[in-house]
Chains A and B, each alone.
Chain A
Amino acid sequence: MTAVLEVTGLRRHFAGLAAVDGVSFTVGPHEVVSIIGPNGSGKTTTLNLVTGAIPAHGGSIVLDGTRIDVADPARIAEHGIARTFQNGRVFAALSVADNVEVGLHTTLRAHRPFHRLSHLVGLRWVALLGELVVAVVGTPAARRERRAIDATVAAEIERFEARLGPRRDDPAYSLSYANRRRTEIARALAPRPKLLVLDEPTAGMNPSETAEVLGQLLELKAEGQAMLLVEHKLDLVMTVSDRVIVMDGGRIVAQGAPDEVRADPAVIEAYLGRRRVAAEERA
């Protein structure tokens, strides 16, 4: 079975500093892979490279047989990667339901009648004007698709029913931090991505909120959703992951099943080594 995501020799430097330095890994079908490592080890940069938010300086990224390392972020999203961000990026002016609906954008057909032309420089406008006409005039197919959109949005909000249900029509800026994160996850899941990329989904959350996210991640895993996860909370990582990748200084220092990684001396050094050395020096 081919991997969903195959990253080979990925490199990116910032003003001479190699933030990601020859990183290779794969994410298999239905597999949950976590990247851990100290701050500044290149985890988020790796995610940004995989999702195209930052262009890579070298290496290749293949999603389900298609090379995406030269594609722009919108194209990568069309290929089937959806992501969340470290601090949570929601569309502040839109309601929760509309946030989720925007997530469906790449999957719509009747609302984007000439979407195939939107990659072509000269013919983009055909696609855009097609969308405009559908929006203002409407077509029977678009009305049918509207019902499908509404159903999917309702289903995604259902996932967080207790939290997001009552806030369905509230603008996202008025949500609490945790609810913004939930909205973001719902938006990312709406298009049924081939790979879900989560950047610290529990950052800034308290233990009970973290436990709730963990529950949801396990549910998604049970549904067979392939995920690439960056996370600091090791309990969560060890519980949810099939495989863990440990990064330090832009390189992968260890990878394997959670239990193997937990015992790996390189990992302990990456997390604790410098502090231990510093403590010895002081003593």
Chain B
Amino acid sequence: MLDTLVAGLLRGNVYALGAVGISLVFGVMNVVNFAQFSFFGLGAMLAWFFVAQEGLPFWLALPLVLVVCAGLGLLVNVAVVRPLARFLPLAAMLSTYAVSQILDNASQLAFTAQFRVFPKVLPTSNLHVGSMRFGTSDLVMLGVTATVMLGMSAFLRYGKVGQAIRATAQDQEAALQVGIPVGLVQHLSFVIASALGGLAGVFVSLYVGVANPTSGLTTGMTAFVAAALGGLGSLVGAVVGGFVLGIVEAFGISLAGDTARQIIVFAVLVVVLVVRPGGLLGKVPLIATEPLTGTFLGKGRPLRVPRWVWPAAFVLGGIVVPFVADDYVLTTGTQVLVYAVIAAGFTVTAGQAGVVALGQAGPIAIGAYTSALLTLHLHVSFWVALPVAGLVAAVIASILSSPVWGVKGHYVSIATLGVGTAIVAVIQLVLPQGIYGIPVPTWAGTPLSTPRAYYLVDAGVLALTLLVTWRLRASHLGKVISSVGSDEVAALASGVRVRDYKALAFAVSAFFAGIGGSLLAHQYTYIDPTIFTMLMSLLVVTIVIMGGVSLPYGAVVGSLVLIGAMELLRFTPELRIIAYGLVLILVVRFRPGGILVRTA
């Protein structure tokens, strides 16, 4: 019991450090900083490098790690985040995701992807109180965190610079007006956050004992959840959220095993956000301030597409490509098409209803598993299983997400992330093995197992998807859903039930996600829960933002660019993800509203 509590405190310690960094940057820049996740992995790897490879004493290695992380953080902010933050918050968020990809991969190039055993620098179980065992290592970690937190809060409360940080967090414009160098404050916050991330990374590896460059992702995710739990922008909230999650997690694992961990984390998150929509210590204004200059969603007009483009694209994509291209191109093409289906459906939620749901991997997984199980065990035809997969995905995802539509702002994204992750975690709990031998579709008795056949099936489904989303956009309902994304208060005053239409938009998106999942399952013929990761969810979001967040055909372009580009870069596997990150940053820089949207 007490052991579990100590384990929880130690985990919470790490989450709190990470969450404070995320909350700090969110406060002063209003950007959710995914790059923060990379600093966990980076901190761990750097510490390993200095201690195990270079043989430096731990006490020297620790400040070195912090300095390197702080420097990198500064570089990231100067080069990428700050220049892009003046565009859409969404675009800046995307760029931080790109940065995190680049950092993770650079770290993999430098340190290789294998797990390294972290040297035991401090004794881990040399002390005990009663029957509870712990080590100097644990005490040092808790002590350092406590010192850092006290130092931080004193700095923020009494320090001149700390007060400038708080002022900037409350109102950037006003801070600028009274002469606070907001740019410097933001740089400094980034530096502090990155150093805290590095520190948390070192602690993770001290605690777990092994580390690899991508090990930061899970910790980062949980720290992010902790920050949201406490209320983004609230530093005390971040600490509280971190410890609450750490302790809840530790007890969850000791009661239900490690697979239940994610379910517990996200269940806690969703419950807290439903009860307190601004996080534990966050406040939600009673009535949202009246927007003076437009809203969160993109300003900018879709580029005018000449009429002849549509039939030309149809002929090219649907007739020329499948009969001219070789199997390699067609296999890539099927991926592009499936993601285009998922993303085109997702534009209804992200673009029209204005909810950037971060958990689409959930409904995709439901669709894939439904279709696989139906065809494999009940011998249902693929052509029946496909729409059923969409329906089941829509129904289950809608039921599970129904509590979150009252949650506001960024929090609804985080809540959907929670629901999506929890769905995949439940699948992993029930069917940990994966499913083999999923039957290929047949048409009039002939199996459709060639890349060309898959391509044609996917192209047909995509054409239908675009037709439905186009009809929806042009309809009264489409306008009503868009009004919800533009201004909820005004929509309510016009008699539009905001929550209901968000739920409906999400159901439509989940339907197409389920369809996409079914198509993927029958093409891979094998699925397991590791396919449906957060990276998959983020890929879907990236695709729609890339193309223009509310344009269904933009999703096709986004999918072509992101999935096609990944294929083109296959000639240089090491630099592939780095190049991908750079492409993303460039797009955000020059087309913040998406490739097909002209910025106003």
Contact = CB atoms under 8 A, between A and B. Distances in A.
A98 B496 contact: no
Nearest to B286: A54
B476 A53 contact: no
Contacts of B495: 74-75, 77-78, 105-106, 191
Contacts of A172: 486
A94 B479 contact: yes
Contact of A94 (B486, B497, B503): B486
A52 to B, nearest CB: 8
Given A53-B287, A53-B492, A135-B472, A173 B299 contact: yes
B292 interface: yes
A258 interface: no
A85 B490 CA distance: 8
Interface in B467-491: 468, 471-472, 475-480, 482-483, 485-487, 489-491
A108 B494 CA distance: 12
For chain A, give the interface size range: 35 or more
A77 B475 contact: no
Contacts of B133: none
Given A73-B492, A77-B494, A88 B294 contact: no
Contacts of B501: 128
Given A48-B287, A73-B492, A93 B482 contact: yes
A93 B88 CA distance: 14
Contacts of B295: 92-93
Given A94-B483, A111-B476, A136-B472, A86 B494 contact: no
Contacts of B246: none
A92 B297 CA distance: 8
A111 to B, nearest CB: 5
A268 interface: no
B248 interface: no
B347 to A, nearest CB: 12
Contacts of B54: none
Nearest to A190: B494
A105 B484 CA distance: 12
A118 B482 contact: no
Contacts of A78: 495
B550 interface: yes
B494 A187 contact: yes
B465 to A, nearest CB: 12
Nearest to A75: B495
A174 interface: yes
Contact of A77 (B286, B472, B476, B492): B492
Nearest to B490: A89
B489 A105 contact: no
A124 B298 CA distance: 30
Interface string B489-527: 111111111101101100010000000000000000000
Given A74-B498, A78-B495, 19 more contacts: A53-B493, A54-B287, A85-B493, A86-B290, A89-B493, A90-B487, A91-B486, A91-B490, A93-B297, A93-B298, A94-B486, A98-B482, A105-B480, A131-B504, A132-B477, A135-B477, A136-B468, A171-B299, A173-B600
